[in-house]
């Protein structure tokens, strides 16, 4: 488009001297984040996450073994069937635990991402970043790496700070 043309599209910005046509590559790829745990941990952390990041239908929890005769396989199959055409990140509480192991059956499904080690810092970063990315695997890995730094033994950290301030 040249400088004399008066009509510009919504994806063009610029000055009278240069116009740049841009197309946003940023899009939301993940339709659902499923939090799954032994007991009510998943729904509890979902509540905290929604309090911090806002209420969103993109987050769902699966509390396992909270009722007698709970059928883990059937519950997960039902959940996956409801979201058959959606990209999904499933975050489970324990790597190698029964909940995580049951989801591993879906690991080869396109658009399915499985993460173990459910924690709030990871989820906050994941939720805030996933809305502005076109590379969900990179965001998952960055969120994992950054959330590891949030796990701290405060007594040791505080003592180190106090010792450094005394010098």
Average the pLDDT over 160-167 and give the result.
Answer: 75
Considering the four listed CATH numbers 3.40.50.2000, 3.30.470.10, 3.40.50.970, 3.40.50.510, the one that applies to the domain covering 32-150 is 3.40.50.510
Closest CA to 137 of 112, 159, 116: 112
Whether the pLDDT of residue 134 is over 50: the answer is: yes
Task: Tell me the pLDDT tens digit for each residue of 91-121.
Answer: 999 999 999 999 999 999 999 999 999 999 9
- Given a contact cutoff of 8 angstroms between Cβ atoms, the answer to whether 57 and 150 are in contact is no
Check residues 7 and 43 and name the one with the higher pLDDT: 43
Interacting residues of 32 by C-beta distance below 8 A, sequence separation 6+: 58, 59, 60, 83, 86, 87, 88, 89
Stated pTM of the model: 0.77
Interacting residues of 7 by C-beta distance below 8 A, sequence separation 6+: none
Whether the pLDDT of residue 55 is over 60: the answer is: yes
| Model pLDDT, residue 30 | 60
Whether the pLDDT of residue 45 is over 60: the answer is: yes
């Amino acid at each position: 488009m040249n400088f004399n043309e008066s009509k510009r599209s919504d994806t063009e910005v610029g000055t009278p001297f240069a116009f740049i046509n841009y197309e946003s590559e940023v899009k939301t790829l993940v339709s659902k984040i499923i939090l799954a745990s032994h007991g009510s941990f998943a729904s509890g952390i979902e509540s905290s996450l929604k309090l911090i990041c806002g209420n969103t239908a993109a987050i769902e929890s699966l509390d396992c073994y909270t009722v007698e005769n709970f059928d883990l396989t059937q519950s997960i199959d039902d959940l996956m069937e409801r979201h058959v055409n959606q990209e999904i990140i499933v975050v489970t509480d324990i790597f190698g635990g029964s909940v995580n192991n049951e989801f591993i059956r879906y690991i080869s499904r396109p658009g399915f991402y499985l993460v173990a080690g459910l924690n709030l810092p990871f989820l906050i970063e994941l939720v805030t970043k996933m809305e502005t990315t076109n590379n969900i695997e990179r965001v998952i890995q960055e969120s994992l790496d950054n959330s590891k730094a949030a796990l701290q033994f405060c007594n040791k950290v505080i003592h180190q700070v106090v010792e450094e301030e005394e010098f």
